[in-house]
Chains A and B, each alone.
Chain A
Amino acid sequence: MSYEPATAVLDEETHEAINIDRSKGDFTFPERNKFDAGRGLTEKTIDYISDVKDDPQWVREFRHKALKVFRDKPTPTNWATEDLNSINFDEIRYYLSDGEKPKRSWDDVPPDVLETFERLGIPQQERAFLAGVEAQFDSEAAYSNVKEELTKQGVIFVTSAEGLKEHEEIFRPWFGKVIPTGDNKYAALNSAVFSGGSFIYIPKGVKLKQPLQAYFRINSESFGQFERTLIIADEGSEVMYMEGCTAPKFETATLHSAVVELVALKGAKIQYVTVQNWSSNVFNLVTKRGLAMEDAEVRWIDCNIGSRLTMKYPGVIMKGERARGEVISIALANTGQHQDTGAKMIHAANNTTSNVVSKSISVGEGRATYRGQVHIPKHLKGCKNNTECDALLINSHSRTDTYPAITVRGNQHATQHEASVSQVSEEMLFYMQQRGLNEGQAMSLAVNGFINDLVREFPMEYSVELKRLIDLEMEGSVG
């Protein structure tokens, strides 16, 4: 018996198991990068990125400071998995781009990039139901467009590089404020080498009926993607933002380390939807946090299906009275995968409420972890938190962990936390098999039932896709 997490040794069988259907995202085009920062991370890398991007001086200083923080911070293996040590920061390429500006029309996008996103279905989706799209290819956005009437209303939807140059007066006061550089080692890394990502500003009272979407694509081997997103919803506005991510399957590990900051001013509402389907050798270490002012609401709707290791704990700081935070999370961990997800709810004003619902499914030798933090300090009253996490174990070597931490000071609050672990009952499978489903279909149906109430929280187009993805992931997992 061992208390140490088993180190992932990939035997052939495991390889086969991971290889189940990622065909949609698994293709690559030859690299044709004009700008390549090379492998490894030094001061020179930072200067190279800053030069290529023509950063203002304050950004360059910000990056250099962050690099120091990144170097000083230890790898947090005192609580996190040892697998973090297998990231070789000297092998990673930190910046790759073809030096082109993001295009406003798909016609101007280079053919191979266009084909990439065509195959992922982005342009059709844009026509069908999106208000704006940004498509990022390695370090920089290849395409960025938003419907004209929104621009007229004052909505800004640009890359973060354009945001910090063209809209400095809105961008700078909030940049790095929700997630300071020193928040954690990987946020510091992102602060040092960030490129790409979106900057969104929704003016007072504007309610977007259609969602905005960003799509992140890694095309090059050993590449690290470090996008940085900042969304500011001004008083009384509403926005839904969706992101999707894929990468082809390379021989070597790839790193994705994003920082996403949301600011919901008085009465605003931000919903942030993620469907993460990285290939199974991507380390996905993401810091996401929202700031909710008076009467504002921040919702994270999060689905993790891909990656080798995901560590992601979306948080909400409820800074204004009656602010609301919510995290809805689905994680599917297959053999060779560790989904370490959770939520952070920091109550910093009276009468704030938060809700966390997390469901995870472990298949094969997959490991799903929930890590949560709820913090209610002493001088407040009327704060409420509800946390539910349910785990489903499919096979006998599947693994699931739950590590919540709840701090409540004072007697004017209420928190509750509940978690359960279960498996699909044999009677249920037997019942469905009697009605003509095979075991695999029955299992798939049972699993979809388990997460059904959460899938409904996703926009319709996504929930269909999600169900399909989960069906595919479950294929061949029984027996």
Chain B
Amino acid sequence: MTTTAPQTPAVFPAWFAARQHDAWERYLATPAPKRGDETWRFSNLKQLNFEGFTRGAGVSPTADLVARSTGLEKTAAKFVFINEELVHSETNLPQGVICLPLAVALVSHSDLVAAHFMKQETRLGSAKFAAWHEASVSNGLFVHTGDHIEVEGTIEVHHWISGANTVIFPHTLVVTGKSSKVRVIDIFRSEDDISPGLAIAFNDLSAGQYSQLDYVAVQALNEVTRIIQINETSTARDASAKGFILNTGASWARNECLSRLEGPGSRSDMLSVSVPAREQEYDQRTFQHHVSEGAYSDLLYKNSLYDNSKTIFSGLIFVDKNAHHTDAYQTCRNLLMSDTCEANSMPGLEINADQVKCSHGSTSSQIHDEEIFYLQARGIDPVSARQLIARGFSVEVVERLNDVATEEFVLSFIDDKFAHIDTGGA
């Protein structure tokens, strides 16, 4: 890891420079995760050695990467970042929506960014890395929708890592006004398959009253790259937030998702699909924090494990003392596709109020022979049968996105992953 403090560019406001300075102090003062830390139970702490990574300054962006940044057919806006540098943007957004690179928004909408930038405490284990991110972040996307504005389509953001041993700190900050609606999709990729990279990503989602905020992260980095992705979501009265994470890439990925249900009647959907293969390791930690009464949260994480891959799921539903009439659900399902994979699940509950409905479930199993037999009886060969079932397993989560174009886009990454697994994902 770097030992010198990152420099805040002079154009950024003073509050931001101060935050970055404090964050660096905090980064230095916070001890690294160690064995015995509950938030790192079952984790491979060797993955946390980030020695030798540098910022990708001076890399000349190639037109090629912009051309490769294909996503949805129609977008409301599109941004392409290479090593945090904006190289392409196009927007087609209605009036009243602010959608700017963070570096620009920090200058033009300083107060608005200050009001929402990294407000919550990172409590799922990566406080040190969140501080590192805060001290280092230089760009990303800032979205703010005005009251009663519904954005049609999706805001699409491509984050590329280019060059060997490059670290990026992408940041996505989405704030929705009263009764507004927006969907943002982040796509993380590497320029090639051989350059090791590192991403310390953060997404900050704040759903205002009665608004609907959908966020999708597609992580398809190359398999020598590591990523820590921290999500913090808060929902105001009757707001609905949906967060979806797809993991197909990276050698090691750590996701920390925290939803704070702050307003009565608010709702949070936390969704994830992971398809690890070979030696990939995915480490996911979630927290459903019911602050207010009468809120609803539903978590569904599905992992299909191939080869020697390993997953960790640790989730907690936390119901505050006065959060009565809470509905909270948490489900983690592991489909074991090889006899050397490893799935760890720690579904947790901490309930401090009564009049609540909470449940969690976790299962780990393989495809049963009867299911294969059933499909064979209908003329489908065993390999295709297994492929079909494995794909269908993930589709159940993807469908919860409720937007055909986004679903197809996400599925294209899943199909691509299956194509890169021996036997085509069977």
Q: Is the CB of B354 within 8 A of A398?
A: yes
Give the distance to chain A from B317, nearest Cβ to Cβ, in Å.
Answer: 9
Between A405, A408, A416, A419, the greatest number of chain B beta carbons within 10 A of the residue's beta carbon is seen for A408
Instruction: Chain A residues near B370: list those with CB within 8 A.
Output: none
Instruction: Chain A residues near B37: list those with CB within 8 A.
Output: 78
Q: Which of B344, B353, B357 contacts A407 (CB 8 A)?
A: B344
Instruction: Chain B residues near A411: list those with CB within 8 A.
Output: 336-339, 341, 366
Q: Is the CB of B349 within 8 A of A1?
A: no
| Cα A462 to Cα B42 with chains together (Å) | 40
* Interface residues in B337-377 (C-beta closer than 8 Å to A): 337-366
B21 near A: Cβ within 8 Å? Answer: no
Instruction: Chain B residues near A400: list those with CB within 8 A.
Output: 349-351
Q: Is the CB of B360 within 8 A of A412?
A: no
Instruction: Chain A residues near B363: list those with CB within 8 A.
Output: 414-417
Q: Which of B341, B342, B344, B366 contacts A405 (CB 8 A)?
A: B344
Q: Is the CB of B339 within 8 A of A378?
A: yes
| Cα A415 to Cα B337 with chains together (Å) | 15
Q: Is the CB of A413 within 8 A of B364?
A: yes
B320 near A: Cβ within 8 Å? Answer: yes
Instruction: Chain A residues near B41: list those with CB within 8 A.
Output: 405
Q: Per-residue 0/1 for A153-177: is the Cβ within 8 Å of any B Cβ (1 yes, 0 no)?
A: 0000000000000000000000000
| Cα A416 to Cα B342 with chains together (Å) | 15
Query: Would you call the interface of chain A mostly helix, strand, loop, or mixed?
Result: strand
Question: Of A11-19, A107-115, A326-334, A420-428, which binds chain B?
Answer: A420-428
Instruction: Chain B residues near A402: list those with CB within 8 A.
Output: 347-350, 360
| Cα A409 to Cα B337 with chains together (Å) | 11
B52 near A: Cβ within 8 Å? Answer: no
Q: Which of A398, A404, A423 contacts B347 (CB 8 A)?
A: A404
Q: Which residue of A lies closest to B330 (CB)?
A: A419
Q: Which of A391, A409, A422 contacts B342 (CB 8 A)?
A: A409
Q: Which of A381, A416, A422 contacts B339 (CB 8 A)?
A: A381
B38 near A: Cβ within 8 Å? Answer: yes
B248 near A: Cβ within 8 Å? Answer: no
Given contacts A78-B38, A414-B364, A423-B354, contact A401 B348 (CB under 8 A): yes
Q: Which of B36, B324, B338, B362 contacts A416 (CB 8 A)?
A: B362
| Cα A1 to Cα B260 with chains together (Å) | 12
Instruction: Chain B residues near A399: list those with CB within 8 A.
Output: 350-352
Give the distance to chain B from A159, nearest Cβ to Cβ, in Å.
Answer: 37
Q: Which residue of B lies closest to A412 (CB)?
A: B339
What count of chain B residues pass the 8 Å CB interface test?
43
B291 near A: Cβ within 8 Å? Answer: yes
Q: Is the CB of B356 within 8 A of A416?
A: no
Q: Is the CB of A401 within 8 A of B339?
A: no
| Cα A292 to Cα B1 with chains together (Å) | 48
* Interface residues in A413-467 (C-beta closer than 8 Å to B): 413-423
Q: Which of B320, B347, B356, B366 contacts A393 (CB 8 A)?
A: B356
Q: Is the CB of B351 within 8 A of A401?
A: yes
B321 near A: Cβ within 8 Å? Answer: yes
* Interface residues in B20-41 (C-beta closer than 8 Å to A): 36-38, 41
Q: Which of A79, A405, A421 contacts B349 (CB 8 A)?
A: A421
Q: Which residue of A lies closest to B312 (CB)?
A: A407
B286 near A: Cβ within 8 Å? Answer: no
Between B36, B334, B351, B360, the greatest number of chain A beta carbons within 10 A of the residue's beta carbon is seen for B351
Given contacts A402-B360, A416-B363, contact A410 B341 (CB under 8 A): yes
Instruction: Chain B residues near A414: list those with CB within 8 A.
Output: 363-366
Instruction: Chain B residues near A406: list those with CB within 8 A.
Output: 343-346, 362, 364
A343 near B: Cβ within 8 Å? Answer: no
Q: Is the CB of A408 within 8 A of B350?
A: no
Q: Which of B36, B346, B362 contacts A403 (CB 8 A)?
A: B346
Given contacts A1-B320, A417-B345, contact A408 B336 (CB under 8 A): yes
Instruction: Chain B residues near A408: list those with CB within 8 A.
Output: 334, 336, 342-344, 364
Q: Is the CB of B347 within 8 A of A407?
A: no
Give the distance to chain B from A382, nearest Cβ to Cβ, in Å.
Answer: 11
A395 near B: Cβ within 8 Å? Answer: yes
Q: Which of A79, A413, A415, A421 contacts B357 (CB 8 A)?
A: A421
* Interface residues in A45-81 (C-beta closer than 8 Å to B): 78-79
Instruction: Chain A residues near B351: list those with CB within 8 A.
Output: 391, 393, 399-401, 421
| Cα A1 to Cα B291 with chains together (Å) | 8
Q: Which of B38, B344, B353, B364 contacts A396 (CB 8 A)?
A: B353
Q: Is the CB of A410 within 8 A of B339?
A: yes
Given contacts A399-B352, A400-B349, A411-B341, contact A420 B358 (CB under 8 A): yes
Between B344, B364, B365, the greatest number of chain A beta carbons within 10 A of the residue's beta carbon is seen for B364
| Cα A360 to Cα B342 with chains together (Å) | 30
Q: Is the CB of A78 within 8 A of B36?
A: yes
Instruction: Chain B residues near A395: list those with CB within 8 A.
Output: 354
Instruction: Chain B residues near A421: list those with CB within 8 A.
Output: 349, 351, 356-359
| Cα A394 to Cα B353 with chains together (Å) | 10
Q: Per-residue 0/1 for A92-110: is the Cβ within 8 Å of any B Cβ (1 yes, 0 no)?
A: 0000000000000000000
Q: Which residue of A lies closest to B346 (CB)?
A: A405
Give the distance to chain A from B51, nearest Cβ to Cβ, in Å.
Answer: 27
Q: Is the CB of A378 within 8 A of B38?
A: no
| Cα A422 to Cα B353 with chains together (Å) | 10
Instruction: Chain B residues near A419: list those with CB within 8 A.
Output: 347, 349, 359-361
| Cα A347 to Cα B115 with chains together (Å) | 52
Q: Is the CB of B38 within 8 A of A413?
A: no
A24 near B: Cβ within 8 Å? Answer: no
| Cα A401 to Cα B353 with chains together (Å) | 11
Instruction: Chain B residues near A209: list those with CB within 8 A.
Output: none
| Cα A399 to Cα B351 with chains together (Å) | 5
A44 near B: Cβ within 8 Å? Answer: no
| Cα A412 to Cα B339 with chains together (Å) | 7
Instruction: Chain B residues near A417: list those with CB within 8 A.
Output: 345, 347, 360-363
Q: Is the CB of B349 within 8 A of A415?
A: no
Instruction: Chain A residues near B347: list those with CB within 8 A.
Output: 402, 404, 417, 419
Can you add 11 more A-B contacts, CB < 8 Å, to A1-B320, A413-B336?
A: A1-B321, A78-B38, A401-B349, A405-B344, A410-B336, A410-B340, A411-B366, A414-B364, A417-B360, A419-B349, A420-B358
A-B residue pairs in contact (CB < 8 Å), sample of 10:
A78-B37, A391-B351, A393-B351, A393-B353, A396-B324, A409-B340, A410-B336, A410-B338, A416-B362, A418-B359
The 9 closest A-B pairs by CB, nearest first: A411-B336, A411-B366, A410-B339, A402-B349, A408-B364, A409-B342, A393-B354, A421-B358, A417-B362
